[in-house]
């Protein structure tokens, strides 16, 4: 069986101190990529990053829209902070009055 590929994601203001060829946790670093996050992000960008539906993202970021009525644009730091939080799990049956 060949070597397996593992992906480690680091979000930081400064680049991590990792070098190509460096041995980390029993494996060798063979590639590094960097993704630039824009200041304003669209719903399509958030759908691709988080795998949620468009309606779910628009609903969760309802008060933070910075675009027009038809174009939903969000501040990237705010959107990532809100969408990275796991939703609170609601357990049990609904209460009947």
| Tens-level pLDDT at each residue, the chain (97 residues) | 556 667 777 777 787 788 888 888 788 888 877 778 888 999 999 999 888 999 999 999 988 999 877 789 999 889 988 998 877 777 778 777 7
The residues pairing with 74 across neighbouring beta strands, listed in sequence order, are: 41
Q: How much is the pTM?
A: 0.62
Count structural domains, the chain: 1
What is the per-residue pLDDT for 9?
A: 76
Residue 61 falls inside a structural domain: yes
DSSP per residue, 27-91: EE-------PPPSEEEHHHHHHHH---HHHHHHHTGGG--S-SS--EEEHHHHHHHHHSPPPPP-
Residue 75 falls inside a structural domain: yes
Domain that holds residue 80: 40-84
What is the per-residue pLDDT for 25?
A: 79
Residue 53 falls inside a structural domain: yes
Residue 3 falls inside a structural domain: no
Residue 74 falls inside a structural domain: yes
């Amino acid at each position: 069986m060949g070597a397996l590929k593992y992906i480690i994601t680091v979000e930081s203001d400064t680049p991590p101190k990792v070098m190509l060829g460096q041995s980390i946790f029993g494996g060798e670093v063979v590639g590094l990529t960097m993704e630039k996050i824009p200041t304003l992000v669209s719903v399509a960008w958030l759908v691709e990053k988080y795998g949620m539906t468009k309606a779910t993202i628009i609903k969760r970021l309802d008060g933070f829209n910075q675009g027009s009525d038809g174009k939903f644009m969000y501040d990237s730091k705010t959107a990532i902070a809100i969408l990275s939080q796991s939703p609170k799990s609601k357990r049990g049956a609904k209460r009947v009055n």
